[in-house]
Structure 1
Amino acid sequence: MLNATHHIAIICSDYSVSKHFYSELLGFKVIAENYRKERDSYKLDLALPDGTQIELFSFPDAPKRPTHPEAQGLRHLAFSVDDIVKSVEWLNEQGIDVEPIRTDEYTGKRYTFFQDPDGLPLELCEEVS
């Protein structure tokens, strides 16, 4: 019945900082950007080459995440990469701190975590054939 993930919605605290992070640093393509005056809110639609989309929202006075990262709800967002070492090096060059690379004890695949400007945990998963 379900085919794929269509999009992930994220509410940010600083729209311009998060827009730069996801579009300029991480390379998401901007599909559409709209300002909703009645809500004093931006909605930015972003996409990866595989079609995965992020809806980036700004809302005035949105509450902060209650705890990090063990709050109920979305724990983290993961992205696949071909070469995790090169990806980590590139993120570091952009001034983004990345945790040490780990290896999953069950799959043997390497992964690591970093954060978006609001502290949302993001994961890189190395896809090796």
Structure 2
Amino acid sequence: MIKNELLKGIHHAAIICSDYEKSKSFYHQVLGLPIIAEHYRKERDSYKLDLQLPDGCQLEIFSFTNSPPRPSYPEARGLRHLAFSVENIEEVVTYLKSKDIDVEEVRLDEYTGKHYTFFSDPDNLPLELYQK
């Protein structure tokens, strides 16, 4: 059993991408996440990019040569999606659409009464917007 006081929150989530520069541009330029650190690991021919979220959490972007694709969307075993909290979901949806990013229709969570929607990153990984 894990006690609530042992875990303080999520430190980071990690994503393996197929095109490092495209993913870096998407998360840094389009979504506006500041870069904390960027490293090229020659022995792995791999990049590691650390990005900062406003709440202190981090997003790590990795590139690996010949990494296998995700088996299905979004019900593959493993991480189902990554959700970002937003103040105004309609404003963020409008912004993403202005960047030619497809965004699903905004839905209402029947249990919390909060609005949410999904979109994808350059590797078709499922991302969610969830209004606070």
Deviation at 1:48, TM superposition (A): 1.1
Q: Percent identity?
A: 64
Q: How does 1:14-53 map to 2 (within 5 A)?
A: 14-53=19-58
- Whether 2:125 is the aligned partner of 1:120: answer yes
TM superposition score normalised by structure 1: 0.97
Q: Residue 7 of structure 2: which of 2, 18, 23 is its match?
A: 2
| TM-score of the two chains, using structure 2 as the length reference | 0.95
* Mapped partners of 2:116, 2:49: distance in 1: 28
Among 44, 65, 72, the residue aligned to 1:60: 65
Could you tell me which amino acid in structure 1 is paired with residue 9 of structure 2? A
Q: Residues 68-83 of structure 1 correspond to what in structure 2 (within 5 A)? A: 68-83=73-88
Listed one character per residue, the Cα deviations across residues 56-106 of structure 1 (whole Å, up to 9, x for unaligned) are: 000000000011110111000000101011110000001111000000111
Q: How far apart are 1:44 and its partner, in Å? A: 0.3
Q: CA RMSD in A?
A: 0.5
Aligned counterparts, 1:89-104, within 5 A: 89-104=94-109
Kindly provide the CA deviation profile for residues 22-70 of structure 1, in whole angstroms up to 9, marking residues without a partner as x: 0000011100000000000000000112111011000000000011110
**What is the one-letter code of the residue matched to 1:53?**
Q
Aligned equivalents of 1:124, 1:9: Cα separation in 2:
18
Aligned with residue 12 of structure 1, among 9, 17, 21: 17
Match of 2:48, SS state, is: strand
> Which blocks of at least 5 consecutive residues in structure 2 are unaligned?
1-5
Q: Count matched residues.
A: 127
Aligned partners of 1:2 and 1:52: how far apart in 2? 14
Structure 1 stretches of at least 4 aligned residues deviating more than 2 Å after TM superposition: none
Q: SS at the partner of 1:108?
A: coil
